[in-house]
Chain A
Amino acid sequence: MSAHGHHVEGEWPHQPENATLEGRNKVLGFWLFLGGEAVLFGTLFATFLALRDQVGDGPTAAELFKLPIVGAATLILLVSSLTSVFAVQALHQNKVKDLIKWLIVTVLLGFSFLGLEIYEFVEYIHHGHNFTTSAFSTAFYTLVGFHGAHVAFGVLWITLLIIQVKKKGLNLVTAPKVYVSAIYWHFIDVVWVFIFTVVYLMGRVV
Chain B
Amino acid sequence: MAHTAHTVKRYTGIMDWLTTVDHKKIGILYLLAGGLFFGIGGIEAILIRIQLIKPLNDLVSEQAFNELITMHGTTMIFLGVMPIIFALMNAIVPLQIGARDVAFPFLNSLGFWTFLFGGLLLNLSWIVGDVPDAGWTSYVPLADTTYSPHHGVDFYTIGLQISGLGTLLGGINFLVTIINMRAPGMTYMRMPMFTWAAFITSALILFAFPAITVGLILLMFDRLFSGNFFNVALGGNPVLWQHIFWIFGHPEVYILILPAFGIISDVLSTFARKRLFGYSSMVFATILIGFLGFMVWAHHMFTVGLGPVANALFSIATMLIAVPTGIKIFNWIFTLWGGSIKFTAANLYAIGFIPTFVMGGVTGVMLASAPANFQFHDTYFVVAHFHYVIVGGLVLGLFSGLHFWWPKMFGRTLYEGLGKATFWMFFIGFQLTFFVQHFLGLIGMPRRVATYLPNQGFDTMNMISTVGAIMMGIGTLMFLWNIFITSRQPKNAANDPWEDGRTLEWTIPSPPPEYNFKQTPLVRGYDAWWKEKMDGNKEMTPAEPLGSIHMPSPTILPFFMSVGLFIAGFGFMYGRDPFDNAILGFLFNNYIVSIIGLGITFGCMFLRSVYDDPGYHIEVEELEDKGGRA
User: Contacts A3-B550, A44-B214, A137-B228 known; A160 to B235 CB distance under 8 Å?
Assistant: no
Query: Within the complex, what minimum Cβ distance (angstroms) separates B94 from chain A?
Result: 13
Scan residues 1-60 of chain A and give those whose CB is less than 8 A from a CB of chain B: 1-4, 20-21, 24-25, 28-29, 32-33, 35-37, 39-40, 43-44, 46-47, 50-51, 53-56
Which residue from A25, A32, A39, A142 sits with its C-beta under 8 Å from B218? A142
A139 within 8 A of B: yes
The answer to whether A54 and B247 touch across the interface, beta carbons within 8 angstroms, is no
Q: Which residues of B contact A142 (CB under 8 A)?
A: 217-218, 221, 227, 229
Closest to B609 in A: A160
B612 within 8 A of A: yes
Per-residue interface assignment for chain A, residues 61 to 80, with 1 indicating a CB less than 8 Å from any chain B CB and 0 otherwise: 00000000000000000000
Scan residues 69-102 of chain A and give those whose CB is less than 8 A from a CB of chain B: none
The answer to whether A25 and B240 touch across the interface, beta carbons within 8 angstroms, is no
Closest to A135 in B: B235
A134 within 8 A of B: yes
Most chain B beta-carbon contacts within 10 A, residue among A40, A56, A135: A135
**Interface of A (DSSP majority class):** helix
Per-residue interface assignment for chain B, residues 96 to 132, with 1 indicating a CB less than 8 Å from any chain A CB and 0 otherwise: 0000000110010000000000000000000000000
The answer to whether A35 and B176 touch across the interface, beta carbons within 8 angstroms, is no
Q: Which residues of B contact A131 (CB under 8 A)?
A: 225-227
Which residue from B168, B206, B210, B227 sits with its C-beta under 8 Å from A43? B210
Which residue from B176, B222, B227 sits with its C-beta under 8 Å from A29? B176
A113 within 8 A of B: no
The answer to whether B1 and A47 touch across the interface, beta carbons within 8 angstroms, is no
Which residue from B207, B234, B550, B606 sits with its C-beta under 8 Å from A1? B550
A177 within 8 A of B: yes
What count of chain B residues pass the 8 Å CB interface test? 48
A136 within 8 A of B: yes
The answer to whether B213 and A40 touch across the interface, beta carbons within 8 angstroms, is yes
B57 within 8 A of A: no
A172 within 8 A of B: yes
The answer to whether A29 and B235 touch across the interface, beta carbons within 8 angstroms, is no
B380 within 8 A of A: no
Q: Which residues of B contact A20 (CB under 8 A)?
A: 1
Query: Within the complex, what minimum Cβ distance (angstroms) separates A20 from chain B?
Result: 8
Scan residues 600-627 of chain B and give those whose CB is less than 8 A from a CB of chain A: 606, 609-610, 612
A173 within 8 A of B: yes
Which residue from A29, A135, A136 sits with its C-beta under 8 Å from B173? A29
Query: Within the complex, what minimum Cβ distance (angstroms) separates A22 from chain B?
Result: 9
The answer to whether B612 and A39 touch across the interface, beta carbons within 8 angstroms, is no
The answer to whether B211 and A54 touch across the interface, beta carbons within 8 angstroms, is no
The answer to whether B209 and A47 touch across the interface, beta carbons within 8 angstroms, is no
Closest to A163 in B: B610
Q: Which residues of A contact B175 (CB under 8 A)?
A: 29, 32
User: Contacts A132-B226, A134-B228, A137-B228 known; A43 to B221 CB distance under 8 Å?
Assistant: no
The answer to whether A39 and B207 touch across the interface, beta carbons within 8 angstroms, is yes
Closest to A160 in B: B609
Interface residues of B (CB under 8 A from A): 1, 103-104, 107, 168, 172-173, 175-176, 179-181, 206-211, 213-215, 217-218, 221-222, 225-229, 231, 234-237, 240, 243-244, 247, 544, 547-550, 606, 609-610, 612
